[in-house]
Amino acid sequence: MKYVVGYRPDERGADAIALAGVIAKTQGAELHLVNVVHGGKGGGKDIERRALSLVPDEVTATFSTRTAESYAHGLIDAAKEDDAALIVVGAASNGLFKRFTVGSVANGLLHASPVPVALAPRGYNRREPLTRLTVMTGVREGWQAVLDVGTTAAARRHVPLRLVSLVEIDQLQQANFDLDNALSPARQHVNTVLAQAASKLPAESVTVTLAHGRNVEEAVDGIGWKSGELVVVGSSRLAENHKIFLGSTANKILRSLPVPMVVVPRDFVEQGI
């Protein structure tokens, strides 16, 4: 298994390599560090040495520089050539209060990638393996692909899997719904998802959380996060088949997260990450 890592000689490049190394450690995946340039020289051996020096000792990695019209398409082309399971990039570096903002590179990937994309928060520097996977399992079309990826990834790594469904209370109140009755479909859904996940994983390693708040940001803040956690979300139903389109809810989740996030393309059917 191989992961393509978008590398630039800056903090975002270091964040991406750190996250890729964490995800790869328990998977035995190889990293391909890709420096995309628009023309001219790509920095030569100095850039390559700097990038490879950031990779954990126990992770195998290669480096290449490629020319492309856009950084996102250069990474997507590399992923297709490598038959990669994942593209890893750093978030934009201008988020003052939140660790995540989506820059132009990530935004391009989140509208075109045929493989899952992992986004590293600003300043991500973890070195230890993952401790838990959290799957955001909404009730809309596409949740099955997200569950399949999360379940497979958790099973391979022997880490706990947490299933989370978010409910915005403000929306319910605007629609004049009684909160308890309105939460009932969400409870039924997470129980359905729990049953599916428990059939593939040890029952004690799967938990369910029904999170609610006045808005998505408040619900996310109230969930509780572990160091070494990775969140998996699905693409919007507006996405083309087998591609990613980050919907409004996923955007809100991303802006509120203190941990890395993986976005899975619509109708993605490959085996895990």
Mean pLDDT over residues 110-136, rounded? 88
| CATH number of the domain within which 23 lies | 3.40.50.620
Residue 208: its pLDDT value, please?
A: 81
With beta carbons less than 8 A apart as the criterion, state whether 125 and 21 touch. no
**CB 260, CB 227: distance < 8 Å:** no
Domain boundary among 99, 120, 141: 120
Take residue 190 and report the two structure tokens written for it. 């997470």
Q: Of 135, 147, 142, which is closest to residue 236 (Cα–Cα)?
A: 142
Buried b (16+ CB within 10 A) or exposed e, 90-122: bbbeebeeebbbbbebbebbbbbbbbbbbbbbb
Q: How confident is the model at residue 138 (pLDDT cuts 50, 70, 90)?
A: low
- State which of 120, 148, 170 marks the end of a domain: 120
pTM of the predicted protein model: 0.84
Residues 6+ apart with CB under 8 A from 1: 27, 28, 29, 30, 85
Same domain, 205 and 257: yes
pLDDT band at 200 (very low <50, low <70, confident <90, very high): confident
Tell me: do 164 and 45 sit in the same domain.
Answer: no
137 and 207 share one domain: yes
Please check whether residues 96 and 200 belong to one and the same domain.
no
Q: Is the pLDDT of residue 185 over 50?
A: yes
> What pLDDT is recorded for position 246?
61
Q: Which domain holds residue 235?
A: 132-264
Neighbours of 11 (CB within 10 A): 14
- Kindly state whether residues 92 and 183 are assigned to the same domain: no
